[in-house]
Structure 1
Amino acid sequence: MKLALIIPNYNHHQVIEQTLTQLAQFNLPCYLIDDGSQDETRYVLQEMADKFPWVTLIHHPFNRGKGAAVITGLRAAFADGFSHALQIDADGQHNLADIPNMIDCAQANPLALISGKPEYDDSVPKGRLYGRYITHFGVWIETLSFDIQDSMCGFRIYPLAATEALFQYESLGERMDFDIEIMVKLYWKKTPVIQIPTKVIYPENGISHFQGFQDNLRISWMHTKLFFGMLKRLPQKRASHHDNRHWSTMQERGSYWGIKLLAESYRFGGHWLCRAIMYPVIGYFFLTGSTARKASIDFLQQVQNISDSTKKISWQDSLNHFLSFGNAALDRIDAWCDRIKLSEVDFADRQILAKQIETGKGAVLLVSHLGNLELCRAISIHQKRVKVNVMVLTHHAENFNKVLQQLNPKSSLNLIQVNELDPSTAMLLQQKIEQGELVVIAADRTSANSQGRVIDLPFLGKPAPSLKALLFWLAY
């Protein structure tokens, strides 16, 4: 890897000498681009180029924008034979101590775009911070993924072969829209994106060149173009995507912070605020989740086949199916926040369970996903003498379960996380029962490793696999 530094500069002369002094330790050539600065800054930049022989100063005769300055630097570095370029802002926002980590990551992933993922302190303007979340949502739609967690950080290492190929065929925005657009379009071109957490500060008396109305208008127009670009690419993406993986091997699509935001909105605003945020997100998952959408329609069609209705299953039915899943997630949060009373939970043979609890003995509850496992929490809260253990296959939903447990760390409901159903699992559950605790098992939730250890039972007119090995071990 042959690495160079790229520093765009427009009227930032206060801290540029300090920045360059700190960068000298890395012994890297630097392209310092003066984007049409005023005389005072231009003179300072020339002094820096004279003082530091490893700095190459490039002048724009007039101000063209940050994006244009970065493009000039990237193309100059590529023309001079460099393979990668590290972009750094000139205003002292970036934590230069993170450069070695970024270089190590770029060396291990030479084809990837390595970008900082900002961690802000109290100096960040709240308007800028909230605006970033709007852009994040737009980028998630434009890329049909959560792979890009922050697209606005200007602290990154570019693979120059990929950027040069993009510049030859694409026209990019030259101002504050550049950082977002180039990352999305490189992602479209199959360039991997790796993000490294880095602290970002807004220095006191710092100069911002963000033009509120003009730049917001540019960014909005850019997102509009990217959205239609996504729609143009969507048929090809769908045609090339065919997913036959078992459900238990699929990772949840929601990011940790997205689920965390949903939980916090519920905590402070209740159902109405949570739904206001959740329903548009569910709509996004519905539009982009071809595998889940197909599974939903297939399931609803099977239900329709055994009913007397002749109504044809439509996309609206599938969307309602998605929304009902979201409402079930609200039930789960309700349960973890102690907002569901025992009297509100209805289940068969309630008296049988109550008598079993009275004896002080444990029991196994076999359930299906027609209900909601977390509603067992109402039993654990309002029946103080019993502890409820729910066996879950959590590898595919770690973020959601992590957020649930953060909502109420003192919960007496215990999630037993398993990835395999084997004798050791059965021994653990048997111990729980002997201690007078309840063990809840979803008998219709099999794992990818359960092949050959299930029994087929009739469901919706067809055989469906259910657990048999675990039940055998418990009985033994």
Structure 2
Amino acid sequence: MKSSYCIVIPNYNHTQHIDRVLQSIAELSLPVIMVNDGSDASTSQYLNQLPHSYPFLQVINLEQNSGKGGAVMAGFIEAHKQGFTHAIQVDADGQHDLTDIPNFISLSQNNLNAVICGIPDYDESVPLGRLIPRYITHFWVWVETLSFSIKDSMCGYRLYPLAITVALIQSTSIGKRMDFDTEILVKLYWQSVEIINFPTKVTYPEDGSSHFRMLKDNWLITKMHTKLFFGMLPRAPRLIARRFKKKSRPDSHWSATEERGSTLGIQILVWLYRIFGQWLFRIALIPVIAYFVLTGNKARKASYQYLRQINQYTGSKKKVRWYHVYKHFYQFGLAAVDKIRGWLGDVHLSDIVFHHADVFANLRNSKKQQGAVFIGSHLGNLELCRAIGESDSSLKINALVFTKHALKFQKALEKFNPKASVNLIQVDTMGADTAIELKQKVEAGEIVIIVGDRTSVTQYGRVNYAPFLGQPAPFSQGPFILASLLECPTYLLFCLKQSGQYHLYLEPFADSLKLARTNKNEQLQSIITDYAQRLEHYCLKAPYQWFNFYNFWQKDDVNSIQRNAINTQEKNNRDNQ
């Protein structure tokens, strides 16, 4: 049976943003079922006229207000009757980023029986009063499912498989109001439905309205969690056993791994550091890191794999124990503390040992003001590169990042120290525009930093395999091709913490990495092999400071890894061309 998708929008007296929502959906060519949930007469009249302007829209009317959940369920049942296989639930108040709908659909097409669940990436518009109850609900959902598979159970931006969902609706009682989103997700999980989480931006419009009833809805949610908790108890053995079942699917690509943290969380960490200082903060890290070790299954396995690889390569007979993995995670936590210290200006030049001091001196004193490319890694604390710029205000540093999390971290910390910013440039793909922009920066004497130990976010196979700790590993061609296009000196940059001090290593790598046309592939292989050897050298200096918590040695092809929804959609587009 061919999959067919529609959008279901519950609506109770929402008119101020609905035109903008429908205009955004119009570009997607998807049918929309809007459920008028007993709105007042003027709103009902307005909503029932909308199909004249939006032919893809149909409005079904409920005589009495049944609550958000009741309206959504009515929409699902109607969509299922009309032959749709999947429905995307969208709010009517304009909170959701509807440009992510193709990504939801792309994920669904590869996981037809899964619920694709939006994880809110809030901006500054979110009221703090909305965040605190969410974390309480998250805790209870983890208890009720004995799993961390559901990252956010309250976001109303989801894609449901209709056959499974409608069968559940018709066979059991599910809350019809603000308890709906959480209850249906938990009960679907109980039925072994897979939950796939997808981060998406959520904005609270300034003129938005909420139908949340503080006392009644909180009481409903309390009763719901009580009922779900006791419903979990007889299911506990099966829920626990489910966690040990292996899935025959490709490993996740590093870019498909969800970032664990938020802007609010980062700001809380900064306040804790400011109040308690570095040493008490380190003590507070002990239980926090224990939590991440226990709940981070993939990262924990990756740590075991990496540490075993180190032992095997060095000939050590020691067995990797749980406390070695904990130490690895804890070093990552300490690096976060050091990152905060660096951004707040608490790390000074006197705290840093500059190796190859003549290289730094030549960069600072260059009369030509020629820029350079620094190729770094996820070894140590690359963010402390701002200390280089601090030593000479004329040395401007630009760092390329491939995740929104890095930008989120910078944004949070700039509130505490606006002067500490390094220019972070987020790039999902390395196009001509980005290359031209970086070329201009290098010609102006600026520094461009990019990491060389992460494969492409968007494309399969753009790698060369090089020996790393005794096994061939894929290294992205992108950073080295970029360096060749910029036609400037290239350096390798590593920052390790040793004996309480930061050791900054800046090694000359090439006067120019310009690749010849005749033997480009051979040159590229040689360059990447040289980089892998130097990365290996510094990893052995500080093995617990390499923070790539994923299967680094996985093959970079479609059969071995699964990229995120954006990348899958791009792959589908290429396959259809």
TM-score when normalising by structure 1: 0.63
Quick one: distance in 1 between partners of 2:9 and 2:445?
A: 65
Paired position in structure 1 for 2:273: 270
Paired position in structure 2 for 1:356: 363
Instruction: Give the unaligned 5+ runs of structure 2.
Output: 1-5, 13-36, 49-58, 489-511, 515-577
**Equivalent position SS for 2:329:** helix
Paired position in structure 1 for 2:251: 243
- 1:150 matched to 2:154? The reply is yes
Quick one: distance in 2 between partners of 1:81 and 1:451?
A: 43
Q: 1:77 to 1:291 in 2, by over 3 A?
A: closer
Quick one: distance in 1 between partners of 2:454 and 2:388?
A: 22
1:152-185 deviation per Cα after TM superposition (whole angstroms, max 9, x unaligned): x6x9998864443114665657897554121333
**Equivalent position SS for 1:208:** helix
Aligned counterparts, 1:120-135, within 5 A: 126=129, 130-135=132-137
- Which amino acid letter does the alignment assign opposite residue 251 of structure 1? A
**Equivalent position SS for 1:440:** strand
Paired position in structure 1 for 2:185: 183
Paired position in structure 1 for 2:320: 313
RMSD between superposed Cα atoms in Å? 5.6
Residues 303, 328 of structure 2: 8 Å contact kept? yes
Instruction: Give the unaligned 5+ runs of structure 1.
Output: 8-15, 32-54, 59-65, 89-93
**Equivalent position SS for 1:209:** helix
Q: 1:217 to 1:400 in 2, by over 3 A?
A: farther
- Which amino acid letter does the alignment assign opposite residue 266 of structure 2? A
1:3-28 deviation per Cα after TM superposition (whole angstroms, max 9, x unaligned): 89799xxxxxxxx9873552344345
Q: 1:240 to 1:166 in 2, by over 3 A?
A: farther
**Equivalent position SS for 2:244:** helix
- 1:297 matched to 2:304? The reply is yes
TM-score when normalising by structure 2: 0.54
- 1:401 matched to 2:401? The reply is no
Aligned counterparts, 1:81-92, within 5 A: none
- Which amino acid letter does the alignment assign opposite residue 132 of structure 2? Y
- Which amino acid letter does the alignment assign opposite residue 186 of structure 1? L
Quick one: distance in 2 between partners of 1:233 and 1:434?
A: 57
The equivalent position to 2:44 in structure 1, one of 3, 8, 23, is: 23
Paired position in structure 2 for 1:456: 466
Paired position in structure 2 for 1:46: none
- Between stretches 194-203 and 264-273, larger displacement belongs to 194-203
Q: 1:275 to 1:220 in 2, by over 3 A?
A: farther
1:363-402 deviation per Cα after TM superposition (whole angstroms, max 9, x unaligned): 4444443332211112212422311233x3x33x223324
Paired position in structure 2 for 1:343: 350
Residues 376, 451 of structure 2: 8 Å contact kept? yes
Q: 1:432 to 1:97 in 2, by over 3 A?
A: closer
- Which amino acid letter does the alignment assign opposite residue 314 of structure 1? R
**Equivalent position SS for 1:346:** strand
Q: Give the percent of matched residue pairs that are identical in Structure 1 and Structure 2.
A: 30
1:327, CA displacement in angstroms? 2.9
Paired position in structure 2 for 1:49: none
Paired position in structure 2 for 1:166: 168
Q: 1:278 to 1:160 in 2, by over 3 A?
A: farther
Matched residues, number: 414
1:418, CA displacement in angstroms? 4.6
Quick one: distance in 2 between partners of 1:442 and 1:326?
A: 20
**Higher relative contact order, structure no. (Cα contacts within 8 Å, ≥ 6 residues apart):** 2
Quick one: distance in 2 between partners of 1:71 and 1:101?
A: 21
Paired position in structure 1 for 2:264: 261
Q: 1:29 to 1:4 in 2, by over 3 A?
A: farther
Q: 1:294 to 1:231 in 2, by over 3 A?
A: same
1:158-216 deviation per Cα after TM superposition (whole angstroms, max 9, x unaligned): 88644431146656578975541213333653588898766664689x7732465x953
Quick one: distance in 2 between partners of 1:118 and 1:242?
A: 26
Residues 372, 442 of structure 2: 8 Å contact kept? yes
Q: 1:293 to 1:117 in 2, by over 3 A?
A: closer
Residues 139, 184 of structure 1: 8 Å contact kept? yes
Quick one: distance in 2 between partners of 1:327 and 1:203?
A: 43
1:313, CA displacement in angstroms? 0.9
The equivalent position to 2:341 in structure 1, one of 334, 337, 350, is: 334
Quick one: distance in 2 between partners of 1:331 and 1:186?
A: 42
Residues 114, 193 of structure 1: 8 Å contact kept? yes
Q: 1:207 to 1:6 in 2, by over 3 A?
A: same
- 1:369 matched to 2:378? The reply is yes
Paired position in structure 2 for 1:415: 424
Quick one: distance in 2 between partners of 1:95 and 1:72?
A: 10
Quick one: distance in 2 between partners of 1:279 and 1:292?
A: 17
1:451, CA displacement in angstroms? 5.6
Residues 398, 448 of structure 2: 8 Å contact kept? yes
Paired position in structure 1 for 2:520: none
Quick one: distance in 2 between partners of 1:462 and 1:122?
A: 48
> Which structure would you say has the larger Rg?
1
1:447, CA displacement in angstroms? 3.6
Residues 115, 156 of structure 1: 8 Å contact kept? yes
The equivalent position to 2:225 in structure 1, one of 207, 211, 219, is: 219
- Which amino acid letter does the alignment assign opposite residue 208 of structure 1? L
Q: 1:331 to 1:164 in 2, by over 3 A?
A: same
1:227-278 deviation per Cα after TM superposition (whole angstroms, max 9, x unaligned): 9475343223x43444064x3xx234126xx421222112322276987998
- Which amino acid letter does the alignment assign opposite residue 410 of structure 2? L
1:219, CA displacement in angstroms? 1.7
**Equivalent position SS for 2:378:** coil
**Equivalent position SS for 2:40:** helix
Quick one: distance in 2 between partners of 1:375 and 1:100?
A: 36
1:316, CA displacement in angstroms? 3.4
1:328, CA displacement in angstroms? 2.2
